[in-house]
Amino acid sequence: MDRHFTDLVRTKFQLIEGMMAQEEAAAAVELTCAPLKVVGDEGDQMAVSQVKEWLFKLKSRNTSFRKKIHRALQKIEDGSYGVCEECEQKITQARLVARPTALLCIQCKESEELFECQSDKRKELRIVSDHKMGKLLQFPQLNMEA
């Protein structure tokens, strides 16, 4: 990956980190102000809990994004940035522009998503069969009572 491009990526990460910090600061101000608006009305109480929930989601999203940025920066340092972790082929620059934290090339990402989708379906099937099993197990008890 050429130096000019990784410098751009670094700059982009700095901007994103700045934006995240601003967002969190704005959310913290909202959270401080929210209780001041509360006059005991149920709707206002809702507003406070919604702000708390929003702040919580914001922070956990930003934390996971910061980890991704950190990992990408490490890769820039060790020279492995832009190399797919799965097939070790180069990730296209177009993909890295769109997703500078990408660890996989588009082909590997798509097959990973396909696999995740399939295992979600398997999970659903397991829940259904567990549910059926539960029903089956209840029958003998009913028979005992009868």
Contact status: 105 vs Zn ion (CB under 5 A):
yes
49/111 with CB nearer Zn ion: 111
Number of neighbours of residue 109 by Cβ within 10 angstroms: 17
Site string for Zn ion, 108-137 (x = CB under 5 A): x-----------------------------
Q: What span, in angstroms and rounded, lies between the C-alpha atoms of 18 and 57?
A: 18
Q: Are 109 and 85 in contact (CB under 8 A)?
A: no
102/108 with CB nearer Zn ion: 108
Stretch that binds Zn ion, among 1-9, 32-40, 85-93, 123-131 (CB under 5 A): 85-93
Number of residues lying near Zn ion (CB under 5 A): 5
Q: Are 96 and 102 in contact (CB under 8 A)?
A: yes
Strands (E), the chain: none
Binding residues for Zn ion, rule: CB under 5 A, are 84, 86-87, 105, 108
